[in-house]
Amino acid sequence: MKAKVVYFSRTGKNKRVAEAIAQALTDDGNTVELERIETTKPGATLVFGVAMSVLKIPAKLVDPPSVDDGDLLVLVSPVWASSMCPAIRAFLATLPDLQGRTVLNVVCGYNAHESVARSINHEIKRHNAGTIVMESIRLRDVETPENLADYAHRIAKKALG
């Protein structure tokens, strides 16, 4: 199976989660491509980014990751001010028809934000996704490398069915 892991991370925490999921998928014999969502203003202040989240303003992306091929799309995203972050909102707007592809939607925050994960699911469904596996995690639950690896393997198996 070919998987594409796409993530946005300002501090590196979501990057660690995305890398762990990519490694878990690779360990299970899958071909995996890992790609970061890049915004045009990566140095913008966090306060500005949070304001954009609350106002539901998408960021401008440098070059949205291509997700035209593959069997599984994994999206790892942060929560900002209990909302979808602007980079993820912008990326979701660029999604092509997913043609029934399985999507693993992983939302990471200081608390479990299932409402944000459901909002992302709603946007993914609009692009003709097949099965959507939703995970909302608290970053403190995966702080140690062991916990993160265990978590990544568990949700990779869940996404692969």
pLDDT at 153 (0 to 100): 96
Query: For residues 72 and 91, is the Cβ–Cβ distance under 8 A?
Result: no
- Per residue in 92-109, pLDDT (tens digit) is 999 999 999 999 999 998
Catalogue the long-range contacts made by 120-125 (C-beta closer than 8 Å, 24 or more residues apart): 120/75, 120/77, 120/84, 120/88, 120/92, 123/92, 123/95, 124/75, 124/92, 124/95, 124/98
Query: For residues 4 and 33, is the Cβ–Cβ distance under 8 A?
Result: yes
- Residue 109 burial by CB count (10 A; 0-12/13-18/19+): exposed, middle or buried? buried
CATH of domain 2-160: 3.40.50.360
Percent of the chain having pLDDT more than 90?
60
Model pTM score: 0.88
For the chain, which residues make up each domain, given as ranges? 2-160
